[in-house]
Amino acid sequence: MKIIFISFFIFISSQISAHECILQGTSAEEITIYNTCKADQKKQTPSKNLNNSLLKLKNKELKNENKNLKNQLLDLKIRLNSLLQRVDSYLN
């Protein structure tokens, strides 16, 4: 009996590490393994959601930074054009 439980847990742990839940048959044992795999995947989902939320936040921060840098570049372009006009006016 112990061997059955040990092999059962080894089989479950190998499926958990593979992150694929595939129903192999219709026996009670196989359905239990499948359900356990699905339950473990649901437990891991919050960490994925957290990662996605952090990535969205980082993406938003980067977009804001990009917008600020574009504004700074535009300001620099305007200042350089102004300086160029002054130099042209002195030369002419």
For the chain, what is the mean pLDDT? 81
Please give the radius of gyration of the chain, using alpha carbons only, rounded to the nearest integer. Answer: 30
In tens, the pLDDT along 49-64 reads 778 888 899 999 999 9
User: Does the predicted TM-score (pTM) go above 0.75?
Assistant: no
In this structure, is the dihedral angle defined by the CA atoms of residues 42, 44, 46 and 48, taken in order, positive or negative? negative
Give the per-residue pLDDT at 67: 96
- In angstroms, rounded to a whole number, what is the distance separating the alpha carbons of residues 36 and 16? 9
Q: Is the pLDDT of residue 14 over 60?
A: no
Give the per-residue pLDDT at 13: 56
Tokens of 64: 């804001």
